[in-house]
Structure 1
Amino acid sequence: MIANFTLRFLASGLQEVGSKWTRAHNPFDECFKLYLPLEGEACCVMEGGQSLRLAPGSLFLINGYRIKQSVCEKRMKVAWLHFVPESLPLRRLLDHSADFQVLEHAAFPRISPEAIASSSHPASGVSSLLGIHGLLLEMIGSVLERSDAESRFRNDPAYLRIAPVLDYLNLHYLDNPPLEEMAALVHLAPNYFHRMFRQVFNTTPYRYMESKRMELARQLLSTTELPIGEIAEECGYENGFYFSRIFKKCLGRAPLVFRKEMRHSTAL
């Protein structure tokens, strides 16, 4: 059902956090997270009220969109990775699944703190990246096994009808194709296609493409020193001013502020 299992690694690091990490949900939580605590402990309070204790010995896969509050009373040293699935169906399946997954770190001895911390950086080795990618997909598979979300998607005629458009958007989201072009791919009237897309994925095609551009922007701001104008061009925007305005609308802060905050432990 899902052909694209690629994950985009937005940011990663190996940091020690303290009480300043205690905060309500913020734009840095708009992703999925992998945590490997090494020392100390902290916790995440989820939207449903469940409290997840983060402590050494386990790997934690967390749906950051559902984090209500992050709390660290003393200190925690942790290797962390922020990522998003490139596939919108996979993302929606995870949204309909458990808030988090916990696995014993001993079961994955090759997944080291250093591998997690460096996984979003361009200099990371291929074997390390493949190891982290494989682990995440294994954890995601375990989450989906406990959910009936996949069967709901598989049996949804609306999803099956418009699914081919997703592959097209994943290739051309920087070009911002018109609605008529997308609808023609599945032989539907533009307005009807738009309603069906929103019904299935709880977002519009244009918001989906914008979210893809913002994910790319987050990745470039976190892992490179490119100036804002060049990042704007890489993300499909004609000028840095308009890009900065859209970025602030989506993430609540200007690109340079976001980059500065990513240098601090409160962003993990």
Structure 2
Amino acid sequence: MPISSLDYVTSVVDFMIEEYTNKLQGYQTILRSRFMELVVQLSRQYEKQERRQGAQSNLMHLAEAISFMEDNYLQPISREEIAAKSNISVRHLNRIFQSYYQTTPFAYLLQLRLEHACRLLKTTNLPISEISFQSGFNDSNYFTRQFTKVFTLSPKAYRKNR
């Protein structure tokens, strides 16, 4: 809570103590009123704090997800596994990923795998089917379709143009 908010709370509490001590006509109404005001102000401060912590928490979950994917993109990984490693639900993972990266975790994982395949296509003479498997794809036809969709070239044509 900011110092200005603490000063405000202190002044309200001091006023309430003075009202209670003096017990002038209507003091109970004033005490209830100031107490409700204090509750509202504190809840607003709490809400602001929660929003800030929520954003930081989302970034931490996102960092955990990205780190896990970058360390394991060559392995078979499910959305559920990524979410579990990030300690959040699949739905929340998708939501925060979309919010920060304007893409899905699965699309990000696909991009990592395709970038790895590009490196292998440029630097090795491995068969394309082997490159697809070494890049985390378990179906070389699916790999070729995805590669062509993203790069508008087949893996074979990409290799020739290296």
- Give the TM-score normalised by the residue count of structure 2: 0.60
Query: CA separation in 2, counterparts of 1:171 and 1:243?
Result: 20
Counterpart mapping for 1:1-268 below 5 A: 156-262=56-162
| Structure 2: runs of 5+ lacking an equivalent | 1-54
Contact 2:83 2:90 in 1 (8 A): yes
Query: CA separation in 2, counterparts of 1:170 and 1:181?
Result: 14
Contact 1:173 1:213 in 2 (8 A): yes
Which SS does the other structure have where 1:195 is aligned?
helix
Letter in 1 for 2:87: H
Letter in 2 for 1:209: L
| Structure 1: runs of 5+ lacking an equivalent | 1-154, 263-268
Aligned identity (percent) is 31
Counterparts in 2 of 1:180 and 1:238: CA distance versus 1, 3 Å: closer
Offset of residue 197 of structure 1: 1.5
Q: Deviations over 1:78-97 (max 9, x none)?
A: xxxxxxxxxxxxxxxxxxxx
Where is the strand percentage greater, Structure 1 or Structure 2? 1
Q: Deviations over 1:42-96 (max 9, x none)?
A: xxxxxxxxxxxxxxxxxxxxxxxxxxxxxxxxxxxxxxxxxxxxxxxxxxxxxxx
Higher Rg: 2
Runs of 4+ in 1 over 4 A off after TM superposition: none
Letter in 2 for 1:244: T
Query: CA separation in 2, counterparts of 1:184 and 1:208?
Result: 17
Higher relative CO (Cα under 8 Å, sequence separation at least 6) belongs to 1
